[in-house]
Amino acid sequence: MSASPKSRRLHLRPLAEADAGALRAAVDASREVLRRRLRWGGEAATVEGSRGFIAAAARDRRLGGREVYGVFEGRTGALAGVAALQGLLSAPGLAELSLWIRADRQGRGYGVEAGRLLAARAFRRAELQKVYARLDPGNRAARKVIQRCGFRYEGCLRHEKRLNGRWIDQECWGLLRSEWRSR
């Protein structure tokens, strides 16, 4: 599976060291949103930190456990966000989809488009039966994106994740291979 997912408007490809400045700028543009939703945003707050994040993602890709992609606009080549398939080695038949779109690119449908591209890539793996996502229950925008990608609500894990010094719940959403095929 070497070809990078792409659509008419977006191109997903592994982040390269040359993308470190663009990743730092995307994190800066989205700092408030990222601080509320994700744990990793702080490590990409500098160009050096972004290089470290990109190097770790490349290592994980080589080992087969995680695929991290930059979400690039096809027309401009600008970095619009980051998407990932995670847990590829830890839970046979499962993968976790995660993504974020930078604050100044939200509302354009990029999240749905990137989510669908990544789900399609995931289900090209013969062994994969389910792609799942975990969301902050207060993140209505993410819920809309994941629903439009075809995921179904499976339940809520209470106090599942610690973020910014407090325990938060996580909604569980899943998409089965059979559901993806029949959409």
Structural domain that includes position 46: 10-181
Confidence at 163, pLDDT banded by 50, 70, 90 = confident
The CATH number given to whatever domain includes residue 68 is 3.40.630.30
Output DSSP code: residue 174: E
- For residue 91, being part of any structural domain is answered with yes
Residue with tokens 């062994």: 127
- For residue 1, being part of any structural domain is answered with no
- For residue 134, being part of any structural domain is answered with yes
**Three-state secondary structure call for residue 89:** coil
- For residue 2, being part of any structural domain is answered with no
- For residue 4, being part of any structural domain is answered with no
Tens of pLDDT, residues 117-141: 999 999 998 789 999 999 999 899 9
Give the tokens for residue 70.
């930059």
Say how many domains are in the chain: 1
pTM of the model: 0.90
Tens of pLDDT, residues 88-122: 888 889 999 999 999 999 999 999 999 999 999 99
Read out DSSP for 26-68? HHHHTHHHHHHH-SGGGGGSSHHHHHHHHHHHHHHHHHTSEEE
